[in-house]
Structure 1
Amino acid sequence: MKLFRILFPCLFICTALFAQKKNEAYQYHIRQTQPTDRTPHIKIDGVMDEQAWLEAETATDFFMALPMDTSFAKLRTDVKMTYDQQNFYIIAVCYYPRRPDSSWANRPFVQSLRRDWEFQKNDNFIFFLDPFDDQTNGFTFGANAVGAQWDGLLYDGGRANLSWDNKWYSVVKQYEDRYVFEAAIPFKSIRYKKGITRWGINFSRNDLLTTEKSSWAPVPRQFPTASLAYTGSIIWDQAPPQVGPNISVIPYVLGGLSRDYQSEKPTAFRGDAGVDAKVAVTSSLNLDLTVNPDFSQVDVDQQVTNLDRFELFFPERRQFFLENGDQISNFGYANIRPFFSRRIGLGVPIRFGARLSGKLNKDWRIGLMDMQTGKVDETGLPAQNFAVMALQRRVFSRSNIGVILINKESLNYEPELGKPTYSKYNRNFGLEYNLASSNNVWTGKVLLLKSFDPQNSNRSLVHAANLLYTTRKWIIGWQHEYVGQNYSAEVGYVPRRGYVKFNPTASYLILPKGGSVLSHGPQLSSVHIYDESFRKTDSETMALYTTTFRSKSVFSVWASQSYIRLLAPFDPTNTGRDTLARGTEHRWKTIGADYISKPQSLFTYSFSARYGGYYADGTRLNLATSLGYRFQPYVSLAMSANYNEIRLPEPLSTAKFWLVGPRIDLTMTNSLFFTTFVQYNEQAKNVNLNTRLQWRYAPVSDLFIVYTDNYLPGSLSVKNRALVLKLTYWWNV
């Protein structure tokens, strides 16, 4: 707690030192368009021929963010905005440079026509809206150079959650010397507060041929252009319109067949229906409702080789949990999450749920959620209720204080003889302070958590804090954690308990003035973990050197030294073989290298390799690669492969296993997508085939056909098989 007394005042001091918005001088004055016979409604066609565009201001003279941030951008980009009573309109003209050589044959560079593509692998234009001008939360929209849309929620000052989709309209039109992005964003699709006449905004352009990334309001190269700390401002000529009743109803119907071949059960038919609804309580506060939701169309998780002693984390992909989900789901740290929404509906049906989330005003955010799951007779799992309340208050310019209360309750439950026993309730209370200075140089967090359940009360506290200093050349950080042995978060993700952890990091960046190298430099990190008696259980010290080339390819080499004292018996191959005894100590050294090729090539690749010691004086060799080829913009082929060879002394077993995942993405149009993904996991003894056809026949309305197979490796005999057809429709009331 001594560190807490030192770090907590430092966080407040750092916040107070930087209290003014950085890009206050970058302002865009937006005026309402009034359609008449002479100035008709804006048509979203990529042609700037309406009178409203001729009369609108132009944002131009973008600044370069990469490869350097010390000059104006070489590529010209012009942006105009206007609005009417229903929509916010934007048009961006992205000029190409003169055509110097044959590399123009592949222009533009894009992955596919699929929505929410990877930023670094596409020529694109995107923009960032901060309707509360609080430099913390907002929205992002845009498209790549062939018109594939990008939209997402911004949180934590500039991180993007691209799993969020909403209804809006855009077109990209190609010309000889430019491409033009034009879009209409309905005011009903975003959240903002009545009467506010200043919003934060920034525009970003990425061009792979020149490797230039630029933005309208300048952003230092060490931060993403999505960083809301560096937005300019939209100055509205009057407060944005209130759009009246804003209710969306999203019903679905589903039919499916499934069969479990291993248990020799007959084919089962499944028919189902449900509905989601979105109700705008105010223009900045949203109520989400769901009855009998189904998430069968959600992308399959990408499997990983698991050699860890603790549970792995897979992110939430279900749409219902995403909007404003950061306030609840991101409470805490990556490995100390008191709430993790994937715990809800894990192998059990969700009957209904409700979530109220958004802004009460510029300083206050609220998140309330209640979910009800059904009973599972086969296992004795009772019906359960999950309730969450989170409240957040902004302090200083961009920092905030948040509280959270989580309650998991088993309803009408009494344990049954011969069946697993479940807890009657589990509750968590948390308090955190999030630091973010106005220029983003100082960031950090202080966290306190306490759990309550019938069995445990002592040693059920969590305390953690971190502080990060980021400049163009230096990144220096400190983090420490304490998790009590009896801390319990049944609706959270806390893979380890009963430890104290210290984690200092430092890196330095060298920026050459010319040549093929853009930047290079070392990074040093160290992790030390102790039990509650302050006896060391784990440590790892790593030295890393990274070189980034102007082509955007990246090469890294590293070396590490590790120590582990096992707290429980452990199979170091995670294949169900021999285990090492609890209390045994293991030390080893490892070296490794990683390379990522330049993204503008049609053929892209990456590789990583590591070799060194392992548990019980053994050795581990790991080789991994990822290959990709695209036939722009319709076909994208990918192959990932991961090989592990673990050699252990007698009498322990040696293991060799592959994880291979070929993938085909076919995007026939901006609304018709076909994906086939195969995963051969030798460690898990499973081959998975997942095929999905998606037809977006109307905005945010889809037909899905999903086919899934699981096989045994070697014989390829079928374990189980399923076919699902699902239809959704987004209906605005």
Structure 2
Amino acid sequence: MKHFLLLVTLFSLTWHVTLAQKKNEDYKLHIQKASSPIVIDGAMDEQAWLDADVATDFFSILPMDTSFAKVRTDVRMTYDEHTLYLIATCFHGPIEGPYYVESLRRDFSFGKNDNFLLFMDPFDDQTNGFSFGANAAGAQWDGIMYNGGSVDLSWDNKWTSAVKNYDDRYVFEMAVPFKSIRYKNGITNWGINFSRLDLKTTEKSSWAPVPRQFPSASLAYTGILVWDQPPPAAGPNISVIPYTLGRVTKNYEEGTDADVTGDVGADAKIALTSSLNLDLTINPDFSQVDVDRQVTNLDRFELFFPERRQFFLENGDLFANFGYSSIRPFFSRRVGLGVPIQFGARLSGRINRNWRIGLMDMQTGKVEKTALPSQNFAVMALQRRVFARSNIGFLFVNKESINYTPDLSSDKPVYSQYNRNMGLEYNLATSNNKLTGKALFLKSFSPDVKGQDFTQAANLQYSGRKLTVAWQHEYVGKNFTAEAGYVPRKNFIRLSPQVSYNFFPKGKLLLSHGPTLGTYTVFKPDFYLTDNTLFGSYNFVFRKQEKFTVWRGYDYVELLFPFDPTNSGKDSLQTGSKHNWASWGTEFSSRPQSVFTYGFSTRYGGYYNDGTRFNFTTDIGYRFQPYVSIALSSSYNKIVMSEPWNTTKFWLIGPRLDVTMTNKLYLTGFLQYNDQQDNVNLNARIQWRYAPASDLFIVYTDNYLPTPYEPGLFNVKNRAIVLKFTYWWNI
């Protein structure tokens, strides 16, 4: 604990040295109440727009951040009693030609689309906010912002927009109801910035200048939206989102008849204040959520897959971002995986400018087949802002089995009565974002467990224009347990320093190049070495935005448990066996402005037990813009070892098709062939957004064995089709 307090003190002192006024406080856009009604049609023909203040003279971020942008962008904002409006005029640059877009699908890939985005910080805390925008074809983008510059695009809400193309420009116009965002009543200064990406000139620009080493979404560099009066109170805001569905499933492996079921459920959103929201769910269903992208698993520890379910996402950073990528005391995917969620509630948002709160309670049902009892997951998070952009957070997680008495005489699994986690963390972010870091302390509580049940970790990173230096260390105790979290490894100390440097040549070919060096070292708590990876890479970024990296690595591993290096069930290497090898590889991605994009990565070198491993991955895409996007990803692994493994080959192939008939009607289909899991997965989904945030889904899923019964036929494992109808109803 004393180390944790020492780091907090160090970070606080560092903050005071670098504390400064808000970087772009001289960039102000004045917003006044609309002088006329506004129709969202992409035409700037209303008097309200002619009367509005204009944000123009954008600054270039990329390729270089030392001048004004080559492409002109003008932005105006206004409002009425219920709605916030924005119109952006995006003029053509000096290079002629069509705009580049992937498709009409919402929440597009930023780097592969000409687009305009708004980043909005309604509390002016430079940490949390909202993002809205569209690509040049009108596909919408919306997300919730956290960590001072990250955008979670899984967040969804009600708003409208239109994009209209002209000979010399395209115009984006949008209307966001005040009820769709969270903000504190009475605040007349909001943090705000606008981002424009023009792929023909490969220029990314922003209204308030942002250094090139940071994303344009960085809330540390917003300007100020100055209201002529406090924004209107959102008023009573209750939304009910019911759903109904029908499902047909058939398990061919068990030879059972088709199972036809129907279901109903609902979510509700209740705005207790303009900045504090209560979410409720009864019998939720997530059948329409994208399935996980499969990977070839050659890792010794559990893999991480991101949360995609809508209920867990708003203000999700309060819960999910506590800790580090491999030390998460709460991971929402632990709730409801293969288990029915009966109901849940979440209170989240801001109490005031300095305090955020998150309370969540989820109840799951029994699973008779595995004797899994009904369980309750309760989480409490508090976050207190300190200084300009830093905060202190507290988290408590409780997972408890309800009315459960294990049957020790049975061969069925035995589950814990409870598991609890309590933690405190300090998040550092200086006003210029160049210094960021975190210090963390966690303790777990489980029946009959005492001692070595805590975790301590910290990191600090300096991000300069040319130099980036990072340090991170982690300690996880032998008995630390987070059953509702993600902690794949215990009983270790890990050190991972890294440094990189960029050169900026004056030639026309390269934008930047430079080396990265780092190490990843793992010890037992007595500092006995078990793992070490030493790596170095050289990175090239071209002016047309192609990227190429070549790297070299050296690995040492002492196994702490038996491990099959192919994860194919052939045999396992013994505990305590020691292995070391060298390897090298490359990575390349093509220019994003082409309709044909491609990338690859290679790896070749040693592997466990004096073996060798060759890996080659590809990502290929082609788009018939803006309606059709075709992508193909593949991965090939060849592992050569002594008996009994000999030569093992794994293919992973995943073609994907996106068809966007309009920006409200989508067809997505993809096939995943996983040689390692001996499975072929087919998933197809039609989504019709017939009203704002209201959808009709048709989802078809098949799983096959790759080995056919006879030539031309696949062996079907299981099959399902779901018809789901949702409606967002404002009361």
TM-score interval for Structure 1 and Structure 2 normalised by the shorter chain: over 0.9
- CA distance in 1 between counterparts of 2:180 and 2:644 reads 62
Deviation at 1:244, TM superposition (A): 1.4
Instruction: Establish whether residue 9 from structure 1 lines up as the match of residue 9 from structure 2.
Output: yes
Identify which of 264, 267, 292 aligns with 1:273: 264
Mapping of 1:96-115 within 5 angstroms? 96-100=92-96, 104=97, 107-115=98-106
- The equivalent of 1:707 in structure 2 is 700
- CA distance in 2 between counterparts of 1:540 and 1:732 reads 54
Instruction: Establish whether residue 466 from structure 1 lines up as the match of residue 456 from structure 2.
Output: no
Instruction: Establish whether residue 138 from structure 1 lines up as the match of residue 129 from structure 2.
Output: yes
Deviation at 1:95, TM superposition (A): 0.3
Mapping of 1:153-232 within 5 angstroms? 153-232=144-223
| Contact 2:78 2:85 (8 Å CA) reproduced | yes
Deviation at 1:612, TM superposition (A): 0.1
Deviation at 1:2, TM superposition (A): 8.0
- The equivalent of 1:546 in structure 2 is 539
Which AA in structure 1 matches 2:552?
A: A
What are the superposed Cα offsets for residues 585-621 of structure 1, whole Å, 9 maximum, x if unpaired? 0000000011100011111000110100000000000
- The equivalent of 1:242 in structure 2 is 233
**SS of the residue aligned with 1:315?**
coil
Identify which of 319, 333, 337 aligns with 1:342: 333
Which AA in structure 2 matches 1:196?
A: I
- CA distance in 1 between counterparts of 2:95 and 2:335 reads 54
Identify which of 683, 694, 715 aligns with 1:690: 683
- The equivalent of 1:661 in structure 2 is 654
- The equivalent of 1:85 in structure 2 is 81
- The equivalent of 2:720 in structure 1 is 722
| Contact 2:71 2:94 (8 Å CA) reproduced | no
Unmatched tracts of structure 2, length 5 or more: 709-713
Instruction: Establish whether residue 50 from structure 1 lines up as the match of residue 46 from structure 2.
Output: yes
Which AA in structure 2 matches 1:341?
A: S
Which AA in structure 1 matches 2:401?
A: S
Which AA in structure 2 matches 1:97?
A: G
| Contact 1:19 1:396 (8 Å CA) reproduced | no
**SS of the residue aligned with 1:616?**
helix
| Contact 2:70 2:94 (8 Å CA) reproduced | no
| Contact 1:578 1:653 (8 Å CA) reproduced | no
Deviation at 1:99, TM superposition (A): 4.8
- The equivalent of 1:437 in structure 2 is 430
| Contact 2:122 2:129 (8 Å CA) reproduced | yes
- The equivalent of 1:295 in structure 2 is 286
Instruction: Establish whether residue 648 from structure 1 lines up as the match of residue 641 from structure 2.
Output: yes
What are the superposed Cα offsets for residues 289-314 of structure 1, whole Å, 9 maximum, x if unpaired? 00000000000110011100000000
- The equivalent of 1:18 in structure 2 is 19
Deviation at 1:5, TM superposition (A): 6.2
Mapping of 1:598-609 within 5 angstroms? 598-609=591-602
What are the superposed Cα offsets for residues 336-383 of structure 1, whole Å, 9 maximum, x if unpaired? 000000000011100000000000000000000000001111111111
- The equivalent of 1:638 in structure 2 is 631
RMSD over aligned CA atoms reads: 1.0
- The equivalent of 2:571 in structure 1 is 578
Which AA in structure 1 matches 2:13?
A: I
**SS of the residue aligned with 2:49?**
helix
- The equivalent of 2:518 in structure 1 is 525
**SS of the residue aligned with 1:393?**
strand
Compute the TM-score of the two structures, normalised by the length of structure 1: 0.98
- CA distance in 1 between counterparts of 2:645 and 2:89 reads 64
What are the superposed Cα offsets for residues 302-336 of structure 1, whole Å, 9 maximum, x if unpaired? 00111000000000000000000001110000000
Deviation at 1:713, TM superposition (A): 1.2
- CA distance in 1 between counterparts of 2:131 and 2:77 reads 15
Moved more, 292-301 or 417-426: 417-426
- The equivalent of 1:680 in structure 2 is 673
- The equivalent of 2:473 in structure 1 is 480
Instruction: Establish whether residue 514 from structure 1 lines up as the match of residue 507 from structure 2.
Output: yes
What are the superposed Cα offsets for residues 413-449 of structure 1, whole Å, 9 maximum, x if unpaired? 0112232100010000000000000000000000000
Instruction: Establish whether residue 562 from structure 1 lines up as the match of residue 555 from structure 2.
Output: yes
| Contact 1:451 1:460 (8 Å CA) reproduced | yes
- The equivalent of 1:407 in structure 2 is 398
Which AA in structure 1 matches 2:42?
A: G
**SS of the residue aligned with 1:378?**
helix
- The equivalent of 2:711 in structure 1 is none
Which AA in structure 1 matches 2:30?
A: H
- The equivalent of 1:318 in structure 2 is 309
- The equivalent of 1:587 in structure 2 is 580
Moved more, 567-576 or 414-423: 414-423
**SS of the residue aligned with 2:348?**
strand
**SS of the residue aligned with 1:31?**
strand
**SS of the residue aligned with 2:55?**
coil
Which AA in structure 1 matches 2:216?
A: T
What are the superposed Cα offsets for residues 393-420 of structure 1, whole Å, 9 maximum, x if unpaired? 0000000000000001100001122321
| Contact 1:169 1:183 (8 Å CA) reproduced | yes
- The equivalent of 1:29 in structure 2 is 30
| Contact 2:498 2:517 (8 Å CA) reproduced | yes
**SS of the residue aligned with 2:699?**
strand
Deviation at 1:14, TM superposition (A): 2.0
Deviation at 1:10, TM superposition (A): 2.5
**SS of the residue aligned with 1:116?**
coil
Instruction: Establish whether residue 382 from structure 1 lines up as the match of residue 373 from structure 2.
Output: yes
Which AA in structure 1 matches 2:111?
A: Q
- CA distance in 1 between counterparts of 2:7 and 2:365 reads 45
- CA distance in 1 between counterparts of 2:347 and 2:93 reads 48
- CA distance in 2 between counterparts of 1:578 and 1:439 reads 53
Mapping of 1:145-156 within 5 angstroms? 145-156=136-147
Deviation at 1:265, TM superposition (A): 1.3
| Contact 2:104 2:663 (8 Å CA) reproduced | yes
Structure 1 residues 719 and 22, CA gap change in structure 2 (3 angstroms): same
- CA distance in 2 between counterparts of 1:250 and 1:175 reads 38
- CA distance in 1 between counterparts of 2:204 and 2:26 reads 21
Identify which of 90, 97, 119 aligns with 1:94: 90
Deviation at 1:679, TM superposition (A): 0.3
Q: Aligned pairs, how many?
A: 723
- CA distance in 2 between counterparts of 1:133 and 1:201 reads 8
- CA distance in 2 between counterparts of 1:692 and 1:5 reads 51
- CA distance in 1 between counterparts of 2:365 and 2:5 reads 45
- The equivalent of 1:395 in structure 2 is 386
**SS of the residue aligned with 1:324?**
coil
**SS of the residue aligned with 2:262?**
strand
Instruction: Establish whether residue 616 from structure 1 lines up as the match of residue 612 from structure 2.
Output: no
Identify which of 224, 248, 253 aligns with 1:257: 248
- The equivalent of 2:443 in structure 1 is 450
Over 6 Å off, 4+ runs: none
